[in-house]
Structure 1
Amino acid sequence: MFFLPKAAYFHIPFCVNICHYCDFNKVFLKGQPVQEYLTYMEKELQHTLAAAPTEGMETIFVGGGTPTALSLQQLETFFTMVSSHFSFAQLQEYSVEANPEQTSLEKLELMKAHGVNRLSMGVQAFQASLLKELGRSHTEEDVFRTVEDARRVGLTNISLDIMFGLPRQTVDHLKETLEKAFSLDVPHFSAYSLQLERKTVFYNRAAKGELLLPEHEEEARMYEVLMEEMEKHGYTQYEISNFAKKGYESKHNLQYWNNNEYYGIGAGAHGYIHGVRHENAGPLKKYFQAIDQAGVPYTASHTLSLQEKMEEEMFMGLRKREGVDDSRFIKRYGRSFFTVFGTQIEALIKRGLLQKEGTRIALTKQGVFLGNEVFQEFIGVTTV
């Protein structure tokens, strides 16, 4: 069983500078064949839609890399391409990732003119020393200016990314960052702990013992402070790493957490179409060559079994604080998750990591801190 995709992710891999923690597919912008890349993205999109048509988009997310590193003309080309292939009649959310120092008033006006209605901005911290440590090139002033400019053109649905557990970061640093972030009065925050990913500057420095990270207890305290401050300022934690004022939850990310299918277009993008998860070639030359040869740039594809779909429904859905509902599960898979995963659910409830309310199960507060342990219990389960 599969559902028609109503969400699309577009990957723009170009960056003016490379952050020390980022493991997403990206390349330095200077000297890159950006216009050619946009042409190939359209070829991939055309081939994808021919094989898997849609009735219309509900959400679109443009990520990277740094989408706003593109010039005005390049952004115009991209946005025109997207709107020429999708109906926006059902579109609820159109998000673009932005770096503050590369997001001019003119680019924001262009986004607004093409139907973009949400801005997701990478801030991470408000201390110049921490930003330098991260390899970020923006300033506090850039953030405030970009938020003001976005509102000036009518883009009021703004999300800020915050990070914790950073090298040399303290709880007081995080409190200061949150205080300044709250002063901007944006409706959404995404907040992530630092993960050391292979092939990043931080990973290599950590391997050499050169990265001074907070102790585990201090990082846990940062997460606790984060949740307390968000609640105090009127933001609901609707997912492990996401907080929103009512009505401003990320509709696109909910497509992922609800285990819905989506198009993934661009070098290094991942997609989920007709029950098949696929990964695109990352290097630009390989991406171009694959599209020339096959129309799509897939380097890996996996058809999910019914068991795998049920597992994903659980560990993706449990990221949401509302959890997962058995009635939805039965509608999708013809079986109750209390039957499929009854042993795991019972054990996690006894450990105080899950709670049950009617037909719904969700993480407890303790379970939020130990989410990965909970999710692992639903992977590789043998069922009859």
Structure 2
Amino acid sequence: MSKLQQQPARGHQGSHRTQAVYLHIPFCTNKCFYCDFNSYVLKDQPVMDYLVALDREMELTVAINPPGQIKSIFVGGGTPTVLKPNEMEYFLKSIRKHFPDWADDIEFSMEANPGTTDLEKLTVMKEGGVNRLSFGVQAFQNDLLSGIGRIHNTDDVYRSLENARKAGFDNMSIDLMFGLPNQTVEMLDESITKALALDLPHYSIYSLKVEENTLFHTMYQKNQLPLPHEDDELQMYLLLMSRMKEAGYEQYEISNFAKPGLHSRHNMTYWLNEDYYGLGAGAHGYVGRQRHMNIKGVNAYVDGVEQGLPRLDVNPISKEEAMEDFLMVGLRVMKGISRTHFEEQFEEQLDEIFAKPLHKMVSAGLLEVTEDGYCLSEQGILFGNDVFGEFIGSITS
């Protein structure tokens, strides 16, 4: 699951009903060395009990906050495609039962790992309404893949994509990573070449972050993690931006590239600071300017649903926090933030509320003024975290 799918965006209050759904399947065949997501190795897990509990959480959720017409559904993990065909069928029927009103052009994405997607399972997914697949490929060098704990090899990637096309999928995305241990600029260049040869509509390309509670963090602390030099990592990012642009892909967000009109609509929900349901163990959700996080453990989540909504944490979000988040997440998108959109959400003037940090970032050459707001400059893209950091606490502290 990508970082942004895990991070809160503090939804806003509005008269319209929620139109986006995130569902979490926390099972994996194994744990990757860099992964700090809420995921558990599949062996001996009560999968069907979990899916029944998830069905119940959906039922409770829509009873309290009835949905609008659903425009996007995203199933992340874990690895949702470790579900067996019969489990997958049950799960997809649950979604359709509780969220029956789908937009004609709904985007229904599911994360998939190469090596866990045979034709039978993909056919069940297609028949259940899934119409977009996001494959976690990460690299096209088998040594690098085994070095980060992935179970698939490059042959699995080609076979999975071939199976997906046979099952009728044409809207597909792959994730790549850079800044991996022992990765060189040349290796990333080769991965991009092989990825582009697949001629897919969408690519997500993330830099490795060494997170706590991962094997990589332990190795890093012992000085046993051979990460690329910072200069090489910068070269990797510059390379991928120029290569994707040359190939006709629009960089519509810091880590995401798409053919015109084929960006991830679900992720835009987060970046536009809009409401979405978050369902499943450890899932985050934002509805009516209230943020929640669910109980993380599989058995604890199943038990929790028996008592009601399986909440670990619920936070009402102040208008000021929501405004800060609007800038923080919105500036990730290349076209930037809109004064009009800000005013619609908050009935306040963007330039008045954030006059000081906006002026500072424009003066530093990291933000540019657009027709209706602000966007990252070319330099700002490289120092995005510094820019976002300027707005955290700028009106709440």
Question: Which bracket does the TM-score occupy, shorter chain normalised?
Answer: over 0.9
Deviation at 1:285, TM superposition (A): 2.1
Q: Per-residue displacement from partner, 1:95-149 (whole Å, max 9, x unpaired)?
A: 0000010001111111111111100000000101100011001111111111122
Please, what TM-score do these two structures have when normalized by structure 1? 0.98
Identify the match of residue 277 of structure 2 among 263, 266, 269.
Answer: 263
Structure with the bigger RCO (C-alpha within 8 Å, sep 6+) is 2
Q: Per-residue displacement from partner, 1:8-53 (whole Å, max 9, x unpaired)?
A: 0110000111111111101110111000000000111111111111
Alpha-carbon distance change, 383 to 169 in structure 1, aligned in 2, over 3 angstroms: closer
Identify the match of residue 386 of structure 2 among 373, 376, 380.
Answer: 373
> 1:167 corresponds to which residue?
181
Deviation at 1:383, TM superposition (A): 7.2
Whether 1:236 and 2:250 are equivalent positions in the alignment is yes
Q: Are the equivalent residues in 1 in contact too, given 2:68–2:101 (CA < 8 A)?
A: no
CA distance in 2, matches of 1:327, 1:382: 20
CA distance in 1, matches of 2:310, 2:317: 20
CA distance in 2, matches of 1:220, 1:317: 23
Alpha-carbon distance change, 77 to 305 in structure 1, aligned in 2, over 3 angstroms: same
CA distance in 1, matches of 2:174, 2:18: 27
**Partner secondary structure for residue 348 of structure 1:** helix
AA of the residue aligned to 2:82: A
Deviation at 1:87, TM superposition (A): 2.1
Q: Are the equivalent residues in 2 in contact too, given 1:160–1:190 (CA < 8 A)?
A: yes
AA of the residue aligned to 1:228: S
Gaps spanning 5+ residues in structure 2: where? 1-12
Q: Are the equivalent residues in 1 in contact too, given 2:357–2:394 (CA < 8 A)?
A: no
CA distance in 2, matches of 1:322, 1:336: 19
4+ residue segments displaced more than 3 Å: none
> 2:305 corresponds to which residue?
291
CA distance in 2, matches of 1:382, 1:80: 44
Deviation at 1:88, TM superposition (A): 4.1
CA distance in 2, matches of 1:289, 1:85: 21
Q: Per-residue displacement from partner, 1:236-273 (whole Å, max 9, x unpaired)?
A: 10000000001110000000001011111100111011
Whether 1:8 and 2:21 are equivalent positions in the alignment is yes
CA distance in 2, matches of 1:194, 1:358: 34
Q: Are the equivalent residues in 1 in contact too, given 2:321–2:396 (CA < 8 A)?
A: no
Whether 1:93 and 2:107 are equivalent positions in the alignment is yes
AA of the residue aligned to 1:106: E
CA distance in 2, matches of 1:331, 1:56: 21
Q: Are the equivalent residues in 1 in contact too, given 2:270–2:329 (CA < 8 A)?
A: yes
Whether 1:331 and 2:344 are equivalent positions in the alignment is yes
Gaps spanning 5+ residues in structure 1: where? none
AA of the residue aligned to 2:116: Q
Q: Are the equivalent residues in 2 in contact too, given 1:101–1:138 (CA < 8 A)?
A: yes
Identify the match of residue 79 of structure 1 among 71, 83, 92.
Answer: 92
Deviation at 1:287, TM superposition (A): 1.0
CA distance in 2, matches of 1:306, 1:72: 44
Alpha-carbon distance change, 312 to 73 in structure 1, aligned in 2, over 3 angstroms: same
> 1:302 corresponds to which residue?
315
